[in-house]
């Protein structure tokens, strides 16, 4: 697309880009030089969720992010090795505790796991899902943000994309937003999440670019 990159991190070398910062840094993470991957080991009872259905608040998942005021497209590839129900790893964009979007597979032991997106506005989360048979799986995820519109997609090969969700994010568009990769373990600990890269590139204002 030839758009300006905000962040392009391939996790090669000894350090992560200075543009990326931690929120709720995991106790254990490392750069695997052999595979050129960033590895999170998720801490116990970490999650992102607000109010709906369960009636609880969780805002302590592991999140490695960059800041931007631009419209953007963010992409990653992740392999999650889950241990417990609802273990998850994927992409997140966040304005505040009450306004954010995340996408991932949430692991269901002994059954079909759930691929989907959680959208939180004004302190209430919703969760749209589709069943997947895979457990330990490598997937590409992307989120495109244009104004207050968010477009969430996944891919198995990084070329052919399937839409998960189009959503509204209720935040002031002239303010900075956080965008990055996340992982958490709501009911346990010790999930290993392996990220190959994270790329965030600027987009224009035309919603049509969300489908390119």
User: Is 211 within the bounds of a domain?
Assistant: no
Which region holds residue 209: left if phi is over 0, alpha if psi is between -120 and 50, else beta? Answer: alpha
For residues 11-23, give the mean pLDDT: 96
Total number of domains in the chain:
1
User: Is 68 within the bounds of a domain?
Assistant: yes
Compute how many other C-beta atoms are within 10 angstroms of the C-beta atom of residue 12: 10
Rounded to an integer, what distance in angstroms lies between the CA atom of residue 123 and that of residue 79?
30
Domain hosting 157: range is 5-206
User: Is 212 within the bounds of a domain?
Assistant: no
User: Is 114 within the bounds of a domain?
Assistant: yes
Per-residue model confidence (pLDDT) at position 8: 97
| Alpha-carbon 212 to chain mean position | 20
For residues 69-86, give the mean pLDDT: 96
pLDDT digits (tens, 9 = 90+) for 87-137: 999 999 999 999 999 999 999 998 899 999 999 999 999 999 999 976 667
User: Is 52 within the bounds of a domain?
Assistant: yes
pLDDT digits (tens, 9 = 90+) for 143-184: 999 999 999 999 999 999 999 999 999 999 999 999 999 999
Average pLDDT across the chain, whole number: 94
User: Is 187 within the bounds of a domain?
Assistant: yes
User: Is 179 within the bounds of a domain?
Assistant: yes
For residues 55-80, give the mean pLDDT: 96
Where does the pLDDT of residue 209 fall: very low under 50, low under 70, confident under 90, or very high at 90 and above? confident
Which CATH number covers residue 122?
2.60.120.200
For residues 14-22, give the mean pLDDT: 96
pTM given for the model: 0.95
């Amino acid at each position: 697309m030839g758009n300006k990159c905000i962040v392009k991190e391939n996790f090669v070398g000894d350090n992560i880009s200075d543009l990326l910062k931690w929120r709720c840094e995991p106790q254990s993470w490392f750069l695997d030089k052999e595979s050129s991957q960033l590895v999170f080991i998720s801490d116990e009872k970490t999650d992102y969720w607000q109010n709906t259905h369960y009636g609880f608040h969780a805002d302590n998942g592991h999140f490695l992010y960059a800041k931007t005021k631009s419209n953007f497209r963010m992409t990653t590839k992740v392999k999650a090795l889950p241990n417990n129900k609802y273990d998850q790893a994927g992409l997140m964009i966040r304005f505040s505790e009450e306004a954010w979007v995340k996408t991932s597979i949430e692991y269901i032991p002994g059954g079909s796991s759930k691929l989907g997106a959680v959208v939180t506005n004004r302190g209430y989360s919703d969760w749209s899902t589709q069943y997947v048979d895979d457990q330990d799986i490598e997937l590409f995820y992307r989120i495109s943000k244009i104004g207050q519109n968010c477009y969430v997609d996944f891919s198995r090969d990084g070329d052919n994309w399937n839409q998960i969700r189009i959503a509204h994010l209720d935040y002031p568009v002239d303010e900075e937003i956080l965008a990055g990769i996340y992982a958490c373990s709501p009911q346990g600990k010790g999930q290993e999440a392996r990220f190959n890269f994270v790329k965030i590139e600027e987009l224009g204002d035309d919603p049509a670019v969300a489908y390119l």
